[in-house]
Amino acid sequence: MDASRHGLACAALPTLALGLALAGCYDQHGAIPGADAGAGRADAGPTLLPDAGTPARRDAGARPDAGVAAPCDAEDAREDLCPAALCDGPGSIHWDGERCVLVDCGACIGEDCPRGWPSLEACEAAHASCEPVQCRATGGEWRFWAEECEHWECGRPQPVACILGRPVCDCGPRMRFDAAAGGCVMALCPEVEPRTRDQLCADTGGRWGPLCCHSECGQGCPDPCAAGACDCGPFRVFDEVRGCLEATRCFEPGVGEACDGRARCATGAICDPATGTCARPACTWP
């Protein structure tokens, strides 16, 4: 692509089909296949080919076939904003330790950037035995932001002490997570005395009042009214069975929203360290 004719090389469009994304946005910073693996790291800077800066395309089939199991640890490949790099070519697919993600128009940083999976389906199939995939596939919620000792049981965290916490699976009421069984399974749970909604709200750290509707991730109703509802506070929602609890949607802000702390940007956006907010990746020539 002639840089003088294209001031904006491309921008990530997560709503497009994967085929379009693969055809239009590959960012390897123009990394040359077979070059030093460090060329894709953040401290190495952009590596452009000498002939008009067109990045070479690498073989996406370097990973195992879909039927071959893969380690569950995150690959060394992540997406970053690239305000001064050319983006021209297909994206790359990588396992981030929890899910398979398309590194679209943003710069791919890390040693595994040249070794992406041939397709999302191949990546997901290879990691089907990993706990995050098992959890979601059987109806659970993978609490990626959590720092807990054990997976939840019966819809509640386990009172277990540990030195170093980790993400866990919440399978919901009357369920527990069993990796050997492939995910969420039925559990023997103690009977809980039913409580009214205001009691449930107060018992789980919320505030009941004439709020019109339950708060969502710390946000209340735009229009007040006298109907009783629960304010669970930041990062939490009100569950009619379990009361106030943290929810995945509260930890995945959209474009323009803050991405500090344990929160990560929703699919298709990247946390811009310069602003502390989620932004869509964009590659341009200076």
What residues form DSSP beta bridges with 141? 170
Q: In sequence order, what are the residues at sequence separation of 6 or more whose Cβ sits closer than 8 angstroms to the Cβ of residue 206?
A: 230, 231, 232, 233, 236, 238, 243, 244
pLDDT at position 160: 87
| Average pLDDT along the chain | 76
pLDDT in tens, 231-271: 999 999 999 999 999 999 999 998 898 887 788 888 778 88
Structure confidence at residue 3 as a pLDDT band (50, 70, 90): very low
Least confident range of 13-17, 121-125, 196-200:
13-17
pLDDT in tens, 148-166: 999 999 999 998 888 899 9
Structure confidence at residue 12 as a pLDDT band (50, 70, 90): very low
Structure confidence at residue 281 as a pLDDT band (50, 70, 90): confident
Residue 7 clears pLDDT 60, i.e. is over it: no
Cα(222)–Cα(80) distance, integer angstroms: 35
Cα(24)–Cα(33) distance, integer angstroms: 19
pTM over 0.75: no
Of the segments 5-19, 85-99, 267-281, which one has the largest average pLDDT value? 267-281
Of 87 and 221, which is predicted with more confidence?
221
Least confident range of 14-18, 250-254, 261-265, 277-281:
14-18
pLDDT at position 106: 62
Of 62 and 15, which is predicted with more confidence?
62
pLDDT at position 23: 35
The two structure tokens encoding residue 269 = 């956006």
In the chain, pLDDT over 90 holds for what percent of residues? 48
The string of DSSP letters for 128-169 reads TTSHHHHHHHTT-EEEEEEEESS--BTTB------SS-EEEE
pLDDT at position 82: 67
Residue 53 clears pLDDT 80, i.e. is over it: no
pLDDT at position 105: 66
